Amino acid sequence: MKYQMKNGETLTLRPPTVEDAAELIKVMRQMDTESPFLARNPGEFSFTIEQEQTLIEAMAQNPDQQWYSAFYQGRLVGQCSAMLVSRGQRFRHRGGVAFALLKEFWGRGIGGYMMEACLAWYREHGVEQVELDVVAGNQRALGMYKSFGFAVTGTRPRALKYLDGTYADEYSMIKYL
């Protein structure tokens, strides 16, 4: 999918290929150093190129999920994934979504395009509600999610513990399609 952004630049969202594995690893490691809102501390992302390639191939074969890499002017800058929360029949109406974007590209609308792509995938697959978790202090992401119709449905106190001993709460959010 190609998008013409407000600034005239091009954003491409597409599933990653095994050829993207090394760059995906590099970008994920950079993101881990830039944001306190991801699930890992810097250095905890330890996939090898072979492991990343295996993951890319497995996700491409799984009809219950979709992974998009975001390329801004040809540069890999982020990724998002849409997946069913469980393969069990009672849960097939629910999807989970996750995003990661290099800090340099925050505030440019890229997250919105990624969300649109994930929501379109959910609609095509009959998903009725989309769920996500977000660090309570991540005001930029909270604003975007709310603009897409997500609502906070609960709080997980002290969900993350940082290296300095401080904690962050996490919100659970849902959007009904």
Q: For the segment 132-155, what is each residue's pLDDT rounded down to a tens digit?
A: 999 999 999 999 999 999 999 999
Q: Which two tokens stand for residue 56?
A: 């890319």
Report the range of poorest mean pLDDT among 1-10, 59-68, 163-172.
1-10
User: pLDDT, tens digit, for every residue of 25-56?
Assistant: 999 999 988 888 988 888 888 889 999 999 99
pLDDT at 155: 98
Helix, strand, coil % in the chain, rounded to nearest 5: 35, 35, 30
Model confidence at 87, pLDDT cuts 50, 70, 90, reads confident
Whether 12 contacts 1, CB under 8 Å: yes
Phi, psi of 161 (to 5 degrees): -120, 125
Is residue 173 within 8 A of residue 154, CB to CB? The reply is no
